[in-house]
Structure 1
């Protein structure tokens, strides 16, 4: 298989559907379309055509031709918008498969060609992958920004500033070789470099795409029989945990992903925290303590004074329909009746928004953060040195790190993994 092959695939959802889109991309795309229809396809002008193979009418479809390089893949591309029945789609795909100049596309191959042909960069491709897997409104918004080039534009601006700063260093190096100058870099140059470093470090403080994907980890913790599982079931909207009046019913972690108010959460119910001679319960308690350490937010259902030391704790008095109101708790709720739960959820959403991207800001992947860390480290080294050669090399390393984000350098080892996340036809 070669990147020069002309490929085809169903690029919409699996039939049956109202419409199905079959895409062909490559040098032979227009010729392949011509073997199914005698109609002449003009660039970017949709046309209703009859698709035929071996004399049989396959479908009356809408056909579009997008000449490269101004197409989604950067190559000549043809799309057939078919009636979305299985038989129609299978017949058209079978006809294309019989063409020796075509082959079926692999997962993510259309997007990979768009990247290879400069139609999108690597960060934008990652945004498309995020968009395909988005399940909440927050995930969709962040993915749209990344796919639309919001972060890539920032990287390009940083790179342009780096090139400007590097040019000043190279000019001094050239002059110093000729013995014409003895001066170092001006104070403004160092100020500009510090400002660039600050901008990159600010980006590093943004929420991670992994948190946006996996959800805010909310751990319900407290002593046995405090109402944790009942409240857990109320928050996730189903009977995910067994509830019983016998203390110690929950012995292991129970996790349930849920979207609330368009934000992703991972709710975690835990074993009651107490000393026990039961070996199995002891394991559950140890796991509960470990979950507390990894939590983004803790709902503590024990005595407010016993709340764990954690950066974000909500002290909850549960079972308020049975027990007296506790004025020292942040919220008094009943998982059984739902009393007070809406106010608790509103507070959880407010705290969660502080840990997720703000409007107009894309979440960054671990790969992006690693590259930005490398760039910031190189800039710090450049700003701390008086040696022009060290400064020039540090700036080169910073540019190389930024280039890894957009795919200009050093990313071959992860391309297969990235584009393998896409479906066939994307």
Structure 2
């Protein structure tokens, strides 16, 4: 297998550039370019030369012999000055070496997985960590990258394998004294408890989704309620056109914010009213679609407007979102609190600080379970649901026979194994022989 190399640090030019190598030739290449190999896992200041002996730079070099490296292979790192010309030349020198080539995207992590250094949840966590833009995304990614998900899912899978092993032993080795003494009731209790753990874990997927992809907040209301001015104040810029003419907003305008370390997608929608104008009607339909998908609807109204048939807002569509009734133009006087619990002035900012405190609290409460281990990706959630469904079948198939019950447990264990990517067909036998001393 070829030795791979890549620039692992940021864009050039930079103060320092890090070039990483992984493969059998890593040690040979360090010796060739530096004249010596540093003590393993120690950074050493060394001259870095071309294969012909021309001085390129002087930098820190480190060597990580297999298997104690990120990829599980021999690895090396060169820390050079981040000059475009220098890095280009050194990469060209590496590319000319025998059995040495540039790495493909994600190839270091892929080799780490192939060599058992990380599992799929850790690989996914590392990928998410690299693209994290908010604190909530960082926290969620670290649950995978740190191995917390791997440990949880492997522990659950081991409990399923143990339960299936006891059932298989009951079927195949009933004459063994130890098997006869196995308490099958205890197995059922453990499976029921595991099923509950799985269901609770799956239920927290909504929190994980919010941490990863963000909250969806929709600003809705009648035309001329101040929705466009509202989103402009919220974003701190002129994101939407503001006009006294009703129906100016025809499409859904979206902005992305970070509130309390959580990504938030805020959508300004067309005014909700009955209209015969085709394009405006399409805007109203789009607004209703966004409202149905929202986590929070900010229903804005002009507290001092004289309602006319032309400007009368249509009813909000059915939605699971929390709805806040907000009265605008507080600078012109207080409205009825029972009608508008939130009152403010978008134009002057009166009452805005109090509103933002409530909004920040709402965002915090939506992710208050950040200490819990959460399923980070839809792939993981799908397999968790599969495992829970198969486990539920096992718990309700006692009358169908132990063979079918054991098969459902196998399906459930395989689903969890696919999350981490380490299914082993021999591990069931290992459990049987270690737990029950079969065959002695």
What residue is the counterpart of 1:260 in the other structure? Answer: 259
2:197 to 193, 196, 199: 199
| Pick aligned residue for 2:41 from 34, 39, 44 | 44
Out of 321, 328, 341, the residue aligned to residue 331 of structure 2 is 321
Counterpart in the other structure of 1:94: 92
86-95 vs 113-122, which moves further? 86-95
2: distance between equivalents of 1:388 and 1:378? 14
**For 1:75, what is the secondary structure of its paired residue?**
coil
Q: Distance in 2 between matches of 1:248 and 1:64?
A: 64
* 1:351-405 C-alpha deviation (Å, 9 max, x unpaired): 2334336232344211111011110011111111121001110110011000011
| 1:263-315 residue CA offsets vs partner (Å, 9 max, x unmatched) | 11000000000011211101000100111111111001138996665431111
User: What is the aligned partner in structure 1 of residue 59 from structure 2?
Assistant: 61
1:114-141 CA deviation, whole Å, 9 max, x = no partner? Answer: 1111111100111111111111111111
SS of the aligned residue for 2:78 comes to strand
| 2:395 corresponding residue in structure 1 | 383
Question: 2:216 corresponds to which residue?
Answer: 217
Residues 280, 165 of structure 1: alpha-carbon distance in 2 compared, 3 angstrom cutoff: same
Hey, what does 2:436 align to over in structure 1?
none
Q: Residues 204 and 369 of structure 1 are in contact (CA less than 8 Å); yes or no, is this contact kept in structure 2?
A: yes
Post-superposition offset of 1:251: 0.7
Please name the residue that 1:34 is paired with.
31
Deviation string 1:41-64 (CA, Å, 9 cap, x unpaired) is: 221121111111123211001000
Moved more, 193-202 or 86-95: 86-95
Q: Distance in 1 between matches of 2:23 and 2:271?
A: 61
Decide whether aligned partners of structure 1 residues 322 and 164 sit closer, same or farther in structure 2, where only a CA change above 3 A counts: same
TM-score, length-scaled by structure 2: 0.87
Partner of 2:371: 360
What's the secondary structure of 1:163's corresponding residue? Answer: helix
| Pairing partner for 1:395 from 392, 401, 409 | 409
Task: Note closer, same or farther for the CA distance 1:33–1:270 as it changes in structure 2 (3 Å cut).
Answer: same
Match of 1:70? 68
Structure 1 residue runs of 4 or more that deviate by more than 4 Å after TM superposition: 176-185, 303-309
Q: 1:342 to 1:192 in 2, by over 3 A?
A: same
Q: Which range moved further: 316-325 or 36-45? A: 316-325
1:177 Cα deviation after fit: 8.0
Superposition pairs of residues 128-207 of structure 1, within 5 angstroms: 128-176=126-174, 186-207=184-205
Q: Could you report, residue by residue, the CA deviation over 1:148-203 in whole angstroms, capped at 9, with x for unpaired residues?
A: 01111111111121122112111111234899999997332211110000001111
Residue-pair matches, total: 407
SS in 1 for 2:98: coil
Deviation by residue 1:25-74 (Cα, 9 ceiling, x = unmatched):
00111111222111232211211111111232110010000011110111
| Other-structure match for 2:10 | 13
Secondary structure at 2:393's aligned position in 1? Answer: helix
Cα contact 1:241–1:254 (8 A) shared by 2: yes
- Which residue is equivalent to 2:237? 238
| Residues 225, 98 of structure 1: alpha-carbon distance in 2 compared, 3 angstrom cutoff | same
Q: TM-score, normalised by structure 1?
A: 0.90
Q: Which has the higher contact order (CA 8 A, sep 6+)?
A: 1
Max radius of gyration: which structure? Answer: 2
Deviation at 1:237, TM superposition (A): 2.0
Q: Which moved more, 1:358-367 or 1:148-157?
A: 358-367
Contact between 1:357 and 1:363, CA under 8 Å: does it hold in 2? Answer: no
Show the counterpart of 1:407.
Answer: 421
Structure 1 residue 347 displacement after superposition: 2.0
Mapped contact 1:207–1:357 kept (Cα < 8 A): no
For 2:142 and 2:362, locate their aligned partners in 1 and report how far apart those are by CA, in whole Å.
23
Closer, same or farther in 2 for the Cα pair 1:94/1:183, shift >3 Å? closer
- When residues 38 and 184 of structure 1 are mapped into structure 2, their CA distance, relative to the original with a 3 A threshold, is closer
The 5 Å alignment of 1:414-425 reads: none
Q: Is the 8 A contact 1:236 1:267 kept in 2?
A: no
SS in 1 for 2:205: coil
Summarize the Cα distance change of 1:88–1:270 in structure 2 as closer, same or farther, 3 Å threshold. Answer: same
